[in-house]
Amino acid sequence: MNAITALAGRPAPVKSPSHGVDAALLAKYDGLRVPRYTSYPTAPHFTPDVNGDVYGGWLAAIEPSRSGSLYLHIPFCQKMCWYCGCHTKIVARYEPIAEYLGHLRREVGMVADRIPGRLAVRHIHFGGGTPTMMAPADFESLIGLLRERFDIAANAELAVEIDPRTLTAEMAAALGRAGVNRASLGVQDFDAVVQEAINRVQPRAVTEQALEWLHGAGIDSINLDLMYGLPHQSVESVTRSAEIALEMAPDRLSVFGYAHVPWMKTHQKKIDESVLADSLGRWEQFAAIADTLAAAGYSAIGLDHFARPGDELAVQQEEGRLGRNFQGYTTDDAEVLLGFGSSSIGALPQGYVQNAVPFDHYAAAIEEGRLPTAKGIALTEDDKVRRDLIMRLMCDLSVDTAAIARAHGLDEGAFDPELAGMADLVADGVAVVEGRRVHVPEAARPLMRIVAARFDTHLSKGAGRHSRAV
């Protein structure tokens, strides 16, 4: 009998995807630090062997029939949130942003020049940082440049991440004029004590005002970001935040567990660790949010997303077509993802590329006429099959290893050693193996990364230090 079913008869503290999981099991698996698998191999395994010249060759080899999507990184914010794990910089003046946009525009030109023909684009995502720190005219002009250099579909999804605290009515109107049709707003938590502790005071009225402006500009597809595991959060406080978020009727919600990595993000040292929940507390907070959203009819998508029934994300999950990339779960199935801006990551059929993170390195490369790629990884055939397997598991909570092996021309039993090696996970109820199919039971949904990690041959090579598993 496994640990989850062994506990199933006990009264569960919360009726949720997590009920019945005990503290010992959580402590056991939370001790494992595993990647979030927004790519495979993951970013800590990228190396400088993949430089701008290699990337240039990959771009030149893009076949005209390929579909593409674009990611543009805008690494500026007005004020640092103490929990922030993003690549961003605090600026008080507009000059650094204007200068960065100059480089970004040149990078768009350099990349487009190397691609044969005009790449057909169906998704554009502006992330950050806070893309809406751009002046409205600069944003519109940048979209104009993208439309000039790429073949952007009339029904393309154009998504922008927004900090409601700094959005203006003018910017919302400019987003609408530029064709933006999806907005993702950072909220995290509505509780004033939590907001104070994370240096992000954002009264509910500020989020509501931003939504009103966006709706007024014709932008009706809305995602809200919530977080758990932040200082002072409790089951009660996160439930209340989820309820308030629901009153705003978003199409989707992202629910991120606070990744506390103060050795990488030194401003996180301002977070008082004594008021952070432990693994069980985090698990219960996630479960409470998941329950609240489920009760309102939202479907759980993968690890950390929720969507209204009928939303494209929910439909694609049901049909087994959900995708996962650096922005999380996505309906984007493009074969070529081009990343622009410092730290941005691109995914091409040949492999992954990441731009230089320090602004001066990024800017210097562009001024010298070089692509600003700092590192990446060329995919081996083994990486490709494992990537497919891990992505299906992260999206569907289930994967037929025989079918994936077959699709890659391998023997159906190619992953039998991994399946046999999962006996401990099976005993604990974290995985179920049936023939050559592996499932993550609903009760173990937040632990799916641990099952995925069993197919990761790079992990044992030791690069990187990841955030907690729960």
Ligand X SMILES: C[S@@+](CC[C@H](N)C(=O)[O-])C[C@H]1O[C@@H](n2cnc3c(N)ncnc32)[C@H](O)[C@@H]1O
The binding site for ligand X (CB under 6 A) comprises 77, 83-86, 127-130, 161, 163, 186, 188, 225, 227, 256, 258-259
- Name the residue nearer to ligand SF4 (CB basis): 52 or 75: 75
- Name the residue nearer to ligand X (CB basis): 117 or 203: 203
- Name the residue nearer to ligand X (CB basis): 85 or 102: 85
Min CB(364)–ligand SF4 separation in Å: 24
Min CB(213)–ligand SF4 separation in Å: 18
3-class secondary-structure state, position 361: helix
Binding site for ligand SF4 (CB under 6 A): 77, 80-81, 84, 86, 88, 128-130, 163, 186
- Name the residue nearer to ligand X (CB basis): 146 or 159: 159
In 123-218, which ranges are continuous DSSP H helix? Answer: 136-149, 169-178, 192-197, 204-216
The dihedrals phi and psi of 98, each to the nearest 5 degrees, come to -60, -40
The CA distances from residue 437 to 2, 151, 202, 400, in Å, are: 19, 40, 45, 4
Within 10 Å of residue 127's Cβ, how many Cβ atoms? 22
Choose the one of ligand SF4, ligand X, none that binds residue 418, judging by a C-beta under 5 to 8 angstroms depending on kind.
none
* Cα-to-chain-centroid distance, residue 455: 20
Choose the one of ligand SF4, ligand X, none that binds residue 225, judging by a C-beta under 5 to 8 angstroms depending on kind.
ligand X
Choose the one of ligand SF4, ligand X, none that binds residue 259, judging by a C-beta under 5 to 8 angstroms depending on kind.
ligand X
Using CA atoms, how far apart are residues 96 and 268, in angstroms rounded to an integer? Answer: 24
| Owner of token pair 């005990």 | 22
Three-class DSSP labels, 213-233? HHHHCCCCEEEEEEEECCCCC
- Name the residue nearer to ligand X (CB basis): 77 or 235: 77
Most distant CA atoms of the chain, gap in Å = 66
Give the pair of three-digit tokens for residue 185. Answer: 């707003």
- Name the residue nearer to ligand X (CB basis): 129 or 351: 129
- Name the residue nearer to ligand X (CB basis): 128 or 136: 128
Number of residue whose CB is nearest ligand X: 186
- Name the residue nearer to ligand X (CB basis): 84 or 294: 84
| 456 sits in which H/E element | none
Min CB(208)–ligand X separation in Å: 15
Min CB(85)–ligand X separation in Å: 3
Min CB(130)–ligand SF4 separation in Å: 5
- Name the residue nearer to ligand SF4 (CB basis): 81 or 419: 81
Within 10 Å of residue 411's Cβ, how many Cβ atoms? 10
Give the pair of three-digit tokens for residue 344. Answer: 């941005």
Choose the one of ligand X, ligand SF4, none that binds residue 258, judging by a C-beta under 5 to 8 angstroms depending on kind.
ligand X
The CA distances from residue 6 to 15, 282, 435, in Å, are: 16, 22, 23
Choose the one of ligand X, ligand SF4, none that binds residue 227, judging by a C-beta under 5 to 8 angstroms depending on kind.
ligand X
Give the pair of three-digit tokens for residue 381. Answer: 């055939």
Min CB(381)–ligand SF4 separation in Å: 37
Choose the one of ligand SF4, ligand X, none that binds residue 80, judging by a C-beta under 5 to 8 angstroms depending on kind.
ligand SF4
List the beta strands (DSSP E) in 290-331.
299-301, 305-307, 323-325, 328-330
Using CA atoms, how far apart are residues 280 and 260, in angstroms rounded to an integer? Answer: 16
Min CB(198)–ligand X separation in Å: 10
Min CB(128)–ligand SF4 separation in Å: 5
Using CA atoms, how far apart are residues 177 and 59, in angstroms rounded to an integer? Answer: 31
Choose the one of ligand SF4, ligand X, none that binds residue 12, judging by a C-beta under 5 to 8 angstroms depending on kind.
none
Min CB(457)–ligand X separation in Å: 27
DSSP 66-132: -EEEEEEEE-EESS--TT--SS-EE-SSSHHHHHHHHHHHHHHHHHHHHSSSPPEEEEEEEEES-GG
